[in-house]
Structure 1
């Protein structure tokens, strides 16, 4: 399982910048603090409700984050960094040592197979980004600048085009999330041998159920921003696994690719 640990170390955990409400100070200090909070999407009153119009606040957050990562979104692609990491990881998984441990060799072979499929999905998504999603994101961005969109239900700002949906939402009172849900990206079905049996399998699967795993039509399913977690989930479950890229999250500290995995999908 050294490869999984190595990938986990390569993955940086998302962090969110949160500014606590300011107290005291003169009026100019308060106004300066409020302007800074608006830029960070964290204007709140004492009751925890937004002081300003949700649209203006979400608009500022989206504009700031798109401006911060404009090179990754409009010059390169959101997938480049992950493609580089996956290429390095897949190469290391392919280099199988002269170990006499047949189980370790088998695990490496399976992880290589899964990782290589995920790498191909990223490369296909990058092509689709430049063909379709890049142009639609730029169009929605221009509509936002012209104030041609509105907040839905006073909680979410949703921008839609034919193949792209941007959802800006507030969770846990203060944190603002931005997600790009992509249409037109195909997934792959992978047949993964079942390596775990008995108590070890039951204990591992129970861990997933109690954490990130959900259900889709009665079958196990998971969304994750961590590629190492997607690899481990597929390895532990075994059987027919469907993997696809679901969305892109634009966070304060970077851009994250969201994977979706489902068990038992026929193809």
Structure 2
């Protein structure tokens, strides 16, 4: 038992229940110490953001609601700009998507104040007094494996995880009971371009779930829009929780392409097909890969693509395509491999990735959202003068 009387036990699976149940009680002081490190980190992060997590009136949803409302006003105004009907239709689709997402955010805000915040406050108090139960899983002493503390209330699921190999701690809170929405998105791009965009999303933040549906969880508002535009037809969208990471609190979105069940067998098949894309479609694929898990750093003036060592074999055909675009390996630390391109290649690639007018309009509009710094950097990079001694950073998924 922990020093303050906190009950800690190993978790075990229960058929038909996503939550772990309490199994063997933990008495090993070394394990308890690792658990308390996770619990203290969780408490510290909640207290750090208490102004939006524990306030009686302000919530973490307020800034997102205000920013999205402002952005939708701008998009509505821009629908009438120019004479390109395809871009106008893109903006109409984004306006419709945004209105539904705004409605979900407002519903989540209301339920946060009524239900989730009181439960979070009670949980924090119980963790301090020893009245809470902590269920653990993973490997507490093996840094190559993850170690996780699970906390449950009636409507909250808190997962505090030490990331394998990295050693960093992530904190995510799932919100139970929020309603989602079924969106029907029009087809705005050709089949080949859509497929390239889908490949890029699936090989970064997206995946294929156990039922065969393409799905993605993201805390980036712009990326939620990008997913929906890339998967025309029916999509199920809902807010599934909060992320307390990287120094801020963000809303987690979950998206499922309902009409695409069984279309993609696995990520390995997706990677193989991505390597076969023609030149223009491969650039669209590369755009969504770079923006998904990567970053564009104009200030540091370097070009770099980094992927986890486990992906090197899976991405073999893609890597060959990257080499043909000027990327060369410059670092391999055993768990990540970095590829670097000459500065002129980075600028040239950025320009080519934004060379298709409808893609450019999509990225430019989404770049006006508050969490879209990557997109702003890419646009700035594409407008820079070519200089063989200056580079820019693009970081692909680890």
Length-normalised TM-score, structure 1: 0.77
Asked if 1:57 is matched to 2:37, the reply is: yes
RMSD between aligned residues: 1.9
1:1-267 matched pairs, under 5 angstroms? 53-75=33-55, 76-95=58-77, 96-147=79-130, 148-153=132-137, 154=140, 155-172=147-164, 173-216=166-209, 217-264=211-258
CA distance in 2, matches of 1:207, 1:63: 36
CA distance in 2, matches of 1:51, 1:98: 61
SS at match of 1:218: coil
| Pairwise CA distance, 1:149 | 2.8
SS at match of 1:191: strand
| Pairwise CA distance, 1:181 | 0.5
Deviates more, 1:249-258 or 1:226-235: 249-258
Deviates more, 1:202-211 or 1:128-137: 202-211
Describe the superposition over 1:16-66 as per-residue Cα deviations: whole angstroms up to 9, x where unpaired: xxxxxxxxxxxxxxxxxxxxxxxxxxxxxxxxxx89712221122122111
Which runs of 5 or more structure 1 residues have no equivalent in the other structure? 1-49
Question: Which gives a bigger RCO, structure 1 or 2 (Cα 8 Å, sep 6+)?
Answer: 1
SS at match of 2:82: coil
Describe the superposition over 1:156-186 as per-residue Cα deviations: whole angstroms up to 9, x where unpaired: 2211111111111111342111111110101
CA distance in 1, matches of 2:40, 2:53: 17
Describe the superposition over 1:132-171 as per-residue Cα deviations: whole angstroms up to 9, x where unpaired: 1011111111111113333513422211111111111111
| Pairwise CA distance, 1:251 | 1.9
Larger radius of gyration, structure 1 or 2?
2
Which runs of 5 or more structure 2 residues have no equivalent in the other structure? 1-29, 141-146, 260-398
| Pairwise CA distance, 1:131 | 1.1
Query: Aligned residues, how many?
Result: 217
